[in-house]
Structures are given as C-alpha cells and as structure tokens.
Amino acid sequence: MVDLVVAQALSETLGGGPQPDLLEARQMQALSLAVHIPLVCFGIAFPAMFLFVEGLYLRTGDETFKRLAVKWSKVALTLFAVGVVTGTILSFEFGLLWPEFMASFGQVFGIAFALEGISFFVEAIFMAIYVYGWQRLSPRVHFLTGIPIVISGFAGSFNVIAVNGWMNDPGGFDVVGGRVVDPRPWEAMFNDAMAHEVFHMYLAGYVVAGFIVAGVYSAAWLRGRRDKYVHTALVVTLSFACLAAPVQVIVGDWAARSVTQRQPVKLAAFEGLAHTTKGASFTIGGVFDEDEQRVRWGIEIPHLLSLLAEHDPNATITGLDSVPPEDRPPVNVVRFAFQTMVGIGTGLALLGAVFFLTWWRRRRLPRSRWFFRAVVAAGPLALVALIAGWITTEVGRQPWIVYEVMRTEQAVTSADGLETGYVALVLVYLALASGVLWMLRRLARQG
Amino acid sequence: MLPEICLALAMVGITAYAVLGSADFGAGFWDLTAGGARRGGRVRGMVQHAMSPVWEANHVWLIFVLVVVWTAFPVAFGSIFSTLSIPLFLAALGIIFRGAAFALRGQAGTIREARVLGALFASSSVLIPFCLGAAIGGIASGRVPVGNATGDVWSSWLNPTSVLIGVLGVVTGAHLAAVFLAADSRRAGQEDLVHAFRTRALGSGVLAGALALAGLLVVRSDARALFDGLTSGAGLACVLVSGAAGVGTLVLVARGRHEPARFVAAVSVAAIVAGWAFAQRPYLLPPELTLDEAAAPDATLAAVLAGLGIGAVILVPSLWLLYRLVLRGVLDQRFEPLDQRFTTLDKDERR
Amino acid sequence: MKWILAAALVGVVLMVAFESPLTRVLGLLCLFGFIVGGVFLIADPDLLGKEEEGMPDDRSP
C-alpha cells in the first residue's frame, strides 16, 4: 500500500472548541471496551463449541450431549444479549465522546461498521432461532441454523477489527488543507494491520471463552463430579482452548513483527527501548525510568529483542528517541500490559501443551489435581491477558487516535460534565457485572 | 441521488426500529403497569413469551441506523451526538438496563429477583423511547447546529417539540405493543389476555391519536418550519395516511382482527416517520445543514450501498425466516405466567 | 493422527520463517487445521465419559 501523504496537519471538521474532559472520555471508552470485549470472546467461540457438542449428539444420539448443547446455547444467548447492549453503548460512545473523529473519518472507515451491522443482525437472528428452536425444528435443520452464528461471529469481529487495524495503519484518504478528502473506503478496510489483529483476536476468543467455561467444569471435577456430562464439557472446551493457546503465540509473533515494521515507536514502548539500538536486548520485568530513559530492575537478555522482532540477533531496533517526547505513548502502562499479556499467554500455551501431550500419550486428561486447579485459574488469567493485549495496542498507539494523522485530543467532544457520565457508567457497569456473575453462578450451580 | 438513497436506507432503519423496537419498549410499559406479582403475572408472562425470540434482532435496527448515519452523514452524526449528549447518554444507560435486566429475568430463580429485574427492565423501557424521541424533537425543531457540542445542552432536548415527541414515542410504543401482544395472546390461546391487550390497544391508540393532534398545535408554536412541512405537500399526505392507518388499526382491533392490525399499525408509524423526513426537506439538520452538504463523498455512499446491498441478500431472507418462524409459533415456548414459574422453585429454596 | 502434528509443524515454519502473504495464508490454514483436526480427534465421542475407571481417589492430595 502507498504510504499516506499528509500534506498539512489535520484540522477539526466540526470546528474544534474547548475540550475539558479528554481523560474522562478515554477512561469511559476504555471501561466500555473492557466490559464488551470478554463478551465478544463468547460471541466468537461459544457457538462453535455448542454446535460441536450438538454434532456429537447428532452422531451418537446420546441425550447427554444434547443436554449440554442446550445448556450452553442458553448461556450463550444471555451473554449475547448483554453483548448486544454493551456493543450498543460503544457505538453511542463513538459519537458521544469522539464526535470530531467520527465527523472527519466516518466516511473513511464506516463501511466496515455497516458490514458489521449486517453480521450482528444475522448473528442475533440465528441465535434466537437456534435457542428457541430446540423443541420444534428437526435435529438436522436445527444444527444447520447454528452455522450462520459461527460465521457471523467471525465476520462481525473481522469488520470491527478492520477499523482498529485502520486506526493503526490509516489509509484510504488524503488530507488536503487540513480536511479529510477523497475517501477510499475499501482501501481503508483492507489495511495491513487488519490481518494479524483479526486472527490474534479470533484465537483470543477461543482461548478466553474455552478456559473460562473449562474452569467452571474443572471446579466441578475437583469437587468430585466425574460423570459423562462434566467430562464432555471439560474435554471439548479444553481441546479448543489448549490447541488455540500455542497457536496464539505464533500469531502473536507475527503481530509483533508487523508492529516493528509499521509502528516502531509502539514496539519501543512495549520494550522500554529509549534509543535506537543494534542488537537490542530484551528486558523482563522492571520499570521504565523516564528521567534516565532506561528500564531499571529488569532482567536483561542480550540480543533477544532483535531476534524476536526482526528474527536477526544483530538487527537494529528503532527506539523511542526517534520521535519527539510529545509523540510517545506512556511507556510504563504499555510495557506492563505487554509483559502481562506475553507472560500469561506463554503460561496458557504451556498448559495447553501439557493437556495435548497427555492426551497424545495416554488418550485421557491429566490426573494431577494441579492441572485442574491451573485450568480454574486459566480462565480469569486469559481474561487479564485479553484486556492487557488491548491496552497494549490501544495505549501503545497514543497520542494518536488515527496513527500519525489525528491526535486523540483533537477527536474528543467539547461537551462538559463527562465526570458525571463517567461515575454513572462505572456504577452501571458494576451493577451489570454483578448481575452477569450472579446469573453465571446460578447456571453453573444447576450443572 | 446517492445521498437521497442513503437517507432512505437510514429512514427504513428508523421506521423498523420505531415499529419493532418501540413495540418492545411498549411491552415493557405494560409490564411496568401490570400490577402486583399475582395480578400482573399473566401479562408479564405474555410479554416475556412474545419478546424473548425477537427483541435482540429488533434492537439491531438501532445499530443499523447509527452505522449508516455515521458513514454517510458523518458531520451530522458528530453534531447530533455532541449536542444531544445528555438524552443520548441517558438512552444508552437505559439500553444497558433494559436489555440486561430482560435477559437476566429469564434466568431469575425467585419471584423477588424477577420483580427487581422486571422493574429495571420496565422503567428503562419508558426512559429509552422518551430520550430518543426527545433527541429527534431537537433535530426536527432545528436545535442542533453543526459543530462540536455547539448547541444548547439542555434546551436542545427539553423543549416543547422534544417533550411532545418523547411522550408520543412512549405512548405509540405502548399502543403497538398492545396490538402485537393481543395477536400473540390469541396464538398462544390465552383469550383473557387477548381481551386485556385489546382494551389496552384501544385506550392507548385513542390517547396517541389525541396527543398527535394536540401536538400539531405545540409544533405550530414551537417549530413553525416543521409544522409547515407537516401540513403541506408530501408531508401532509404522510400525516393523513398515518392518521387513517391509526383509525384503521383501532377498527381492526375492536373487531378482533389482530393479525392484520399488526401491519396497519406499522403503516401508521412508517407514514409519520416518512412525514418527518419530507417535512424537513431539504435539511438534514435544519435550519442550516442540507442533505447534500451533509453527505459523504460519492465513493463512500457507493460503498455503503454496495456493502448493504450484498448484506441485504443475506439479511432479508434471514429476517423473513425469523419472523415467519415466530408468527407460525415454531419458536414459541410454553406460555407461563411469570409468577407461576417460581411457585415450585420457591418451595425448593425453602426446603 | 500424526497429520495434525505435521500440520502444526509446517504451519509454524511457514509463519515464522517467511514474510510473504502467501506463506502466511498457508501457515494459518495449517495451524487452523491443527486446531480443528485436534478438537475432532480429542473430543471423540467414544472416549467421552470413559474417564472414571482408574481415577485416583478424589479427596487424596
């Protein structure tokens, strides 16, 4: 793709104005995303799981499988409903918090959301048909009505992430006289950051949803429930999550190399690399000291960063000093989030390897109680890694909302009083989270 | 031409949401006013029964409208959402409570839980249409200027036209819901509920009509340009069609012909939405931003049409399938008054 | 049975050693083949629910 030519700095389409509440706007958006994204994981991955279990029922006629599929589909519908509303909040917030961003660039990236709207529609329709059709549709037709859910779940996240990819790798428009002109929507949609982001998120959906559901049944297993129902639930969710987790490491490597090439400053923030360095070392842990411009108290492994980022131990890695200080993201937030994601992701991949190798050699689950305890912990940890990953990419893009084109402070609303909205939103989400957890506990107790 | 087609698409979405979404909000209104746990149990059971399979798909129309507007008319979108931030934020909070509480009520284990969740669901169902209606009133009465939050934070949505459209939104939703629920009750074989919803449909229909007529006077004094648009040319034609369909709905409901009443009631709402569009022509944000000025360049509009055109090939048959299955009762669960569900469970808990 | 491991290995090599879009697509296909094939092999209905025999005592540490 041809690099974007930005002749002049972008000016605000709606004419700017005072912007009192940038921090609150960013916090509200981050909070809403953090609430919505875990639900997206279930939208992506859970349908494939209950459809797989229904497939087992169709192959064997065993009612245990049907009971499990019915149960999961009901949970999925409730989570989908909550995802519908939290997703709606996100679309409202685009306008409520970032009117300048939407006014300038809605014409460029909006098409992806239009397609997402269609996917979302199809998902909602077939979700309803599937869950309410268990009694009266024939088994085969019923199974078929589940397939559009799986496809539209993927298509929906594909479209949304295409927009996020575009924010990191903007294209498909020109800036002339401070105005966004000549939008080329399809070019914007198929940007270079889209592919790895889509697959990274898609796999994350399977890892997160798989380990969370597996955790519920793993707890039951530890309490001594060893019947076919629990065994099936465990093996199915674990096989999805445990096979996806190691693959996620490979896709993560692809993502990191792509960031190295397109957003070197973001990579430098991941690693706390102040100066452009040949044969850069990788530092585990520690804190980035802004005054001294280096990571303190970390464990340094020579040449590893160059090796990981460029697959060459002596490659030159661009440092933060390649751009002026006002164009750098907050290093410690990004770096801590990145290390959290990588650390947990590696742990989950190892857990997956234990599961897979045990099955390979013995055709059964591991016997150690520690394995099941680890699975119980893996769900929440996967969730932490998911959120940390989004913090890595979103905060790592700062101070830009559209990378190197529009600064976040240019995008925000001029409306005052966001503090009130922020407090209200926090309370509402706390209520929502406790409601959902209450419901999931009740459903889990029912078995 | 392209801007008009894109606007028409947005209006289709608004109409669908104003019919299907409003009816779900109206169902919440009847849930709210159904009385105590025992007395309202049957009405609430029917609301749960009728809404469950369709409300999520109905809700997606709102998303559809948003994405079309922010892609095809980005400047208008930014101006509307920044000036009308308060009613839209309230609507957003209402949307969380409405959807989540309704979904969770389906999993409630005791009558007490069901009542708390039901109260949340039902009161939000009144809040959302009022706020969205008030926002539309702000746009239609010319109170949303182009700019980043440049309109008045309060008077843009707390003004006679806004309040009128907000209240009308609530009452119309209640009317649509009662018409639909009467038909659904007949399909479920619950004749006492058919009667109950028929009474509600007639009462709310008369009220909606009276409000609409009185409202014309309000609009006349508050937003003269809108009034002139609604009382001349295509706008007037739409208003007359809407009124006639409204009367037709009442006649059909009174005669117990509930299935055709659904469609005639929908025509009434569709006509008034179209009338609004004609009345403020050629403006998208009266009195300054015209449709052509607001529209994104043709490349974007063409992409929207192409994308939605391809999408429609999948979407339209899917929607058709859903509503066909619903209307044939294939997705119906066993009807159960809401309070009855817990009589056995409550005993279990006490044991 | 062995082919899912082969798919995983080929997928990893294609993803890590090359940079072109074609190898990425092939690599992703291999890796997704590994996941899907693996799920079908592991969650085999003949093996599900057959775990209880030979389980050690539940409450032992």
Looking at chain A, the whole-number percentage of residues with pLDDT higher than 70 is 98
Residue in C closest to A251 by C-alpha? C15
Question: Cα–Cα–Cα angle for A286, A383, A423, nearest 5°?
Answer: 90
Task: Work out the average pLDDT over B129-153.
Answer: 92
pLDDT value at residue A4: 54
Which of B262, B320, B254, B273 has the alpha carbon at shortest distance from B8? B273
Which of B218, B198, B208, B217 has the alpha carbon at shortest distance from B242? B208
pLDDT value at residue A289: 84
Task: Work out the average pLDDT over A231-251.
Answer: 94
**Given pLDDT bands bounded at 50, 70 and 90, which one contains residue C19?**
confident
Q: Is the dihedral of CA A339, A341, A346, A348 positive or negative?
A: positive
- The beta-carbon neighbor of A125 closest among B74, B308, B318 is B318
Tokens for B164, please give them: 């009128």
Compute the distance between CA of residue B168 and CA of residue B212 in angstroms, rounded to an integer.
7
Mutate to test the interface with A, among B12, B107, B304 (most CBs of A within 10 A): B107
Question: Cα–Cα–Cα angle for B233, B234, B238, nearest 5°?
Answer: 125
- Whether residue A369 is predicted with pLDDT greater than 80 in this model: the reply is yes
Q: What is the pLDDT of residues B8-19, one digit of tens each?
A: 999 999 999 999
Distant-in-sequence, close-in-space partners of A77: CB < 8 Å, separation ≥ 6? A127, A128, A131, B103
CB within 8 Å of chain A, chain C residues 8-47: 8, 11-12, 15-16, 19, 24, 27-28, 31-32, 34-35, 38-39, 42-43, 45, 47
CB within 8 Å of chain B, chain A residues 108-127: 108, 110-111, 113-118, 120-122, 124-127
Q: What is the pLDDT of residues C20-35, one digit of tens each?
A: 889 999 999 999 999 9
pLDDT value at residue C52: 56
**Given pLDDT bands bounded at 50, 70 and 90, which one contains residue A8?**
low
- Whether residue C59 is predicted with pLDDT greater than 50 in this model: the reply is no
pLDDT value at residue B246: 95
How many CA within 13 A on the CB side of residue B261?
A: 27
CB within 8 Å of chain A, chain B residues 286-325: 296-297, 299-300, 303-304, 307-308, 311-312, 314-315, 318-319, 321-322, 325
Residues in chain A within 8 Å Cβ distance of B66: 91-92, 95
- Whether residue A21 is predicted with pLDDT greater than 90 in this model: the reply is no
Distances (CA, A) of A72 to A365, B166, B186: 22, 39, 32
Q: What is the pLDDT of residues A40-94, one digit of tens each?
A: 999 999 999 999 999 999 999 999 999 999 999 999 998 999 999 999 999 999 9
- Whether residue C56 is predicted with pLDDT greater than 60 in this model: the reply is no
- The beta-carbon neighbor of A235 closest among C34, C43, C58 is C43
- Whether residue B257 is predicted with pLDDT greater than 90 in this model: the reply is yes
DSSP state of A6: B
Compute the distance between CA of residue B271 and CA of residue B206 in angstroms, rounded to an integer.
18
Q: Are A378 and A214 in contact (CB under 8 A)?
A: yes
Question: Are B78 and A12 in contact (CB < 8 Å)?
Answer: no
Q: How far out from the chain centre does Cα A140 lie?
A: 33
Compute the distance between CA of residue A360 and CA of residue A356 in angstroms, rounded to an integer.
6
Q: Which residue has the higher pLDDT, A116 or A20?
A: A116
pLDDT value at residue A342: 94
ipTM of the modeled complex:
0.91
pLDDT value at residue A15: 74
**Given pLDDT bands bounded at 50, 70 and 90, which one contains residue B92?**
very high
Compute the distance between CA of residue B64 and CA of residue B60 in angstroms, rounded to an integer.
6
pLDDT value at residue C60: 40
The length of chain A in residues reads 447
- Tokens 């997956």 map to which residue? A352
Q: What is the pLDDT of residues A388-419, one digit of tens each?
A: 999 999 999 988 999 988 989 888 888 888 88
Compute the distance between CA of residue C35 and CA of residue A240 in angstroms, rounded to an integer.
7
In this structure, the strands spanning A406-407 and A277-278 are unpaired
Which of A251, A160, A250 has the alpha carbon at shortest distance from A199? A251
Which of B205, B82, B100 has the alpha carbon at shortest distance from B138? B82
The residues on A that touch C, with CB distances below 8 Å, are: 52, 56, 59-60, 62, 64-65, 195, 199, 206, 224, 226-228, 231-232, 235-236, 239-240, 243-244, 246-247, 250-251, 253-254, 257, 311, 356, 359, 363-365, 367, 369
Least confident of A398-412, B65-79, B97-111: B97-111
Q: What is the mean pLDDT of chain B?
A: 90
- The beta-carbon neighbor of A137 closest among B102, B153, B330 is B330
- Whether residue B169 is predicted with pLDDT greater than 60 in this model: the reply is yes
Phi and psi angles of residue A7, each rounded to the nearest 5 degrees, phi first: -70, -45
pLDDT value at residue B35: 84
Distances (CA, A) of B312 to A118, A121, B139, B309, B317: 8, 11, 29, 5, 8
- Whether residue B284 is predicted with pLDDT greater than 70 in this model: the reply is yes
DSSP state of A321: G
Mutual angle of helices B22-32 and B55-72, in 10-degree steps: 130
Q: Which residues pair with A282 in a beta bridge?
A: A301
- Whether residue A1 is predicted with pLDDT greater than 50 in this model: the reply is no
Which of C11, C50, C53 has the alpha carbon at shortest distance from C32? C11
- Whether residue A6 is predicted with pLDDT greater than 60 in this model: the reply is no
**Given pLDDT bands bounded at 50, 70 and 90, which one contains residue B318?**
very high
pLDDT value at residue A447: 58
Q: Are A103 and B79 in contact (CB under 8 A)?
A: yes
Q: Chain B contact for A258, CB < 8 A?
A: no
**Given pLDDT bands bounded at 50, 70 and 90, which one contains residue C51?**
low
Compute the distance between CA of residue A103 and CA of residue B285 in angstroms, rounded to an integer.
14
Looking at chain A, the whole-number percentage of residues with pLDDT higher than 90 is 58
Q: How many CB atoms lie within 10 A of CB A224?
A: 11
Q: What is the pLDDT of residues A375-391, one digit of tens each?
A: 999 999 999 999 999 99
Q: Are B243 and B209 in contact (CB under 8 A)?
A: yes
Measured between its terminal Cα atoms, the distance across chain A in Å is 52
Helices (H), A61-178: 63-97, 99-132, 139-168
pLDDT value at residue A287: 87
Helices (H), A190-319: 194-222, 228-262, 264-271, 304-310
